[in-house]
């Protein structure tokens, strides 16, 4: 049977007819765990009415255990897993898997290429569950994971849609704390080096910055976007200095960007923190190696990986754990000390 347009009905149409999310429909069709009786009945009725033909491979996955879980990331750089941030995520995951017999597989999905390889990995009996990180915008990886019917946990929320289970950090609260600290030091021309506009974490951090600047009745428009890299931060700092040479503080959405900003400020003869106070985000090792050392918002990166794996293991074992939001905290160092040093 075909849908209203003469073609085979899609999973999206089944979900719409059943009045459930796409991922819930996928789990019901694939006979996976954690589907309520009401949802299962609604999806089964929609399947009959539409004549939807389920994915046989995905259904087979639900009936067997492979002994492996996947950490899937969407990125165009093959060196992603060597980044200190993701290194800490992987450490946390491996700690959670220590007492299990599950292997960890790393899967890098280019946002525009390599989709067939990812689909094969997720739809063949090669994994019992998947953890997803580094989603950007309307990412095809998110749809592929949902279509697979595998238990899934997201590290950080995607920009679009609401996954059933995720572990995230309080990015908005962290961005707000960074600017509240700068304002408390008496800084009034606060610039922001924000992350990519298609990243949920970056958007949330910028929202927190805007919250704090609005409360302080300061200009929230001195913003430049960049990727989460040293070079991106350095270039963004150049643009900000051209826009406002009188800026006296910078809140960066990552430590790597903050380190790049420090270099640019040094090249322009701006003293940190006397002329410009700088705050980063992450508390990676680089935060203690810069000159001066970075004041930064610490996020529990290793705990993020650990909790992702813990929740996924619970789902695979038939439990129904909730999503989790981890706290952030400000770590004060020399780039924005608790009390501004006197001018020289």
Residue 174: pLDDT over 90:
yes
Residues 99 and 179 grouped into a single domain: no
Residues 227 and 290 grouped into a single domain: yes
pLDDT higher for 61 or 22? 22
Residue 340: pLDDT over 60:
no
β-pairing verdict for 223-225 and 129-133: unpaired
Q: Supply the range of the domain harboring residue 26.
A: 11-54
What is the per-residue pLDDT across 258-293, written as a single tens digit (0 to 9) for each?
999 999 999 999 999 999 999 999 999 999 999 999
Number of structural domains in the chain = 3
The CATH number covering residue 289 comes to 3.40.50.2300
Does the global pTM surpass 0.75? yes
Q: Is residue 243 part of a domain?
A: yes
Specify the pLDDT at position 77: 64
Q: Is residue 81 part of a domain?
A: yes
Residue 125: pLDDT over 70:
no
Residue 232: pLDDT over 90:
yes
Residues 27 and 130 grouped into a single domain: no
Percentage with pLDDT > 70 across the chain: 87
Residues 191 and 286 grouped into a single domain: yes
The CATH number covering residue 48 comes to 1.10.260.40
Residues 139 and 124 grouped into a single domain: yes
Q: How many CB atoms lie within 10 A of CB 330?
A: 17
Residues 122 and 158 grouped into a single domain: yes
Q: Is residue 29 part of a domain?
A: yes
Q: Where are the beta strands (DSSP E) in the chain?
A: 68-74, 103-109, 129-133, 152-155, 166-169, 190-194, 223-225, 249-252, 277-282, 295-298, 324-326, 329-331
Residues 185 and 276 grouped into a single domain: yes
Residues 89 and 125 grouped into a single domain: yes
């Amino acid at each position: 049977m075909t849908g209203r347009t003469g073609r085979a009905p899609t999973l999206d149409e089944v979900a719409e007819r059943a009045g459930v999310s796409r991922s819930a429909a996928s789990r019901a069709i694939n006979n996976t765990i954690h589907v309520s009786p009401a949802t299962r009945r609604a999806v089964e009725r929609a399947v009959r009415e539409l004549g939807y033909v389920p994915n046989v491979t995905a259904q087979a996955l639900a009936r067997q255990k492979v002994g492996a879980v996947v950490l899937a990331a969407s990125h165009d750089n093959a060196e992603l897993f060597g980044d200190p941030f993701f290194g800490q995520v992987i450490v946390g995951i491996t700690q959670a898997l220590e007492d299990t017999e599950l292997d960890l597989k790393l899967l890098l999905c280019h946002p525009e290429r390599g989709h067939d390889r990812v689909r094969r990995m997720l739809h063949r009996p090669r994994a019992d569950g998947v953890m997803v990180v580094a989603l950007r915008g309307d990412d095809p990886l998110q749809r592929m994971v949902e279509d697979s019917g595998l238990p899934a946990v997201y590290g950080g929320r995607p920009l679009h849609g609401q996954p059933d289970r995720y572990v995230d950090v309080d990015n908005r609260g962290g961005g707000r704390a960074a600017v509240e600290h700068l304002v408390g030091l008496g800084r009034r021309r606060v610039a922001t080096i924000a992350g990519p506009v298609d990243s949920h974490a970056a958007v949330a951090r910028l929202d927190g910055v805007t919250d704090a600047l609005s409360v302080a009745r300061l200009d929230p428009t001195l913003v430049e976007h960049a990727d989460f890299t040293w070079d991106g931060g350095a270039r963004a700092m150049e643009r900000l200095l051209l826009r406002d040479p009188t800026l006296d503080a910078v809140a960066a959405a990552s430590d790597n960007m903050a380190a790049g900003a420090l270099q640019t400020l040094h090249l322009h003869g701006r003293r940190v923190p006397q002329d410009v106070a700088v705050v980063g985000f992450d508390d990676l090792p680089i935060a203690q190696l810069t000159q001066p050392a970075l004041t930064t918002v610490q996020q529990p990166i290793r705990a993020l990986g650990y909790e992702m794996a813990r929740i996924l293991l619970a789902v695979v074992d038939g439990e129904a754990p909730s999503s989790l939001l981890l706290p952030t905290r400000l770590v004060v160092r020399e780039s924005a000390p608790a009390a501004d040093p006197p001018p020289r």
